[in-house]
């Protein structure tokens, strides 16, 4: 897109927003070809604003944007997909917050990553429809990690490069993958990973979402897979996400819905 263009169009998903001035709002969006972008929506908090309903969190929308001196300004917005189920169910909404927060952390500003945009749109649709949101999240986490350059090595030992056998191996967040028993024993920070959990991680990593829907996982395997990925994400981000804490709070309060 040439810099001389004073206005441009882009599709986008709204990741987060914050109030700006008396009536404006600062939006962080993710786009197919511009990556993550911050835009100003002027007058959006006024009761008469026509753009407000098209710029809600997690809405997929078509934008007309004017270039500004410091921030580009949204002049028109039209909803493509409102993902309505995310506004009716707190449990689903909370998972959308997690997806948006994770993508906000890993998505680069002004860096095109069309596959990541498609994954974002797809996962929001799956959150609206799925009865197994935990499986959706694990699929999303693994494929996001691949698309942003942190794909964990799950098939060969990180040190000796031999194919991993169906025995208890060792996952290392610091090293970014799995060590065989011989190389992993005594490796700082490496934790044992069961045969079942490693099989699930591998399957989710290399298959399409539709192929993963049939997976029936024990609670122990679900918990282990989640723990492995959360530890890896925490290591990469150097912190735990606020949305994870909120999901845990809802779960412990008995407010989780569906088979998660």
- Decide the pairing of beta strands 35-41 and 60-66: unpaired
CA distances from 180 to 50, 164, 175 (A): 58, 6, 13
Per-domain residue ranges of the chain: 7-82, 90-252
* Model pLDDT for residues 19-70, shown as the tens digit of each residue: 998 999 999 999 999 999 999 999 999 998 989 999 999 999 999 999 998 9
Q: Is 8 exposed, middle or buried (CB count within 10 Å of its CB: 0-12, 13-18, 19+)?
A: middle
CA distances from 111 to 31, 44, 131, 205, 209 (A): 9, 27, 33, 24, 25
Spatial neighbors of 148 by CB under 8 A, at least 6 apart, are 106, 107, 113, 116
For residue 22 the two structure tokens come to 């008396």
Which pTM does this prediction carry? 0.92
CATH number among 3.40.190.10, 1.10.1740.10, 2.40.50.140, 2.60.120.260, domain 7-82: 2.40.50.140
* Model pLDDT for residues 142-194, shown as the tens digit of each residue: 999 999 999 999 999 999 999 999 999 999 999 999 999 999 998 999 999 99
- Decide the pairing of beta strands 7-20 and 24-31: antiparallel
Architecture (CATH level 2) of domain 90-252: Up-down Bundle (1.20)
For residue 156 the two structure tokens come to 């060969």
Cα Rg of the chain (Å, integer):
20
Identify the three-state secondary structure at position 153: strand
């Amino acid at each position: 897109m040439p810099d001389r263009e004073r206005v441009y169009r882009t599709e986008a998903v709204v990741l987060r927003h914050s109030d700006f001035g008396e009536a404006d709002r600062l939006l962080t969006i993710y786009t197919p070809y511009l990556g993550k972008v911050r835009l100003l929506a002027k007058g959006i908090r006024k009761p008469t604003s026509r753009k407000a309903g098209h710029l809600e969190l997690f809405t997929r929308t078509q934008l007309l944007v004017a270039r500004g001196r410091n921030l580009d300004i949204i002049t028109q917005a039209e909803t493509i997909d409102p993902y309505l189920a995310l506004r009716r169910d707190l449990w689903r909404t909370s998972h959308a917050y997690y997806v948006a927060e994770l993508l906000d952390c890993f998505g680069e500003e002004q860096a095109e990553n069309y596959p990541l945009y498609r994954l974002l749109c797809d996962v929001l649709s799956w959150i609206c429809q799925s009865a197994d949101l935990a499986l959706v999240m694990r699929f999303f986490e693994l494929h996001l990690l691949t698309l942003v350059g942190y794909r964990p090595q799950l098939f060969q030992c990180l040190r000796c490069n031999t194919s991993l056998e169906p025995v208890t191996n060792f996952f290392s967040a610091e090293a970014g993958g799995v060590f065989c028993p011989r190389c992993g024993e005594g490796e700082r920070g490496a934790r044992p990973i069961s045969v079942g959990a490693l099989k699930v991680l591998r399957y989710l990593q290399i298959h399409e979402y539709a192929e993963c829907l049939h997976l029936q996982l024990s609670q122990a395997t679900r918990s282990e897979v989640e723990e492995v990925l959360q530890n890896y994400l925490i290591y990469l981000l150097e912190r735990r996400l606020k949305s994870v804490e909120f999901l845990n709070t809802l779960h412990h309060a008995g407010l989780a819905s569906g088979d998660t």
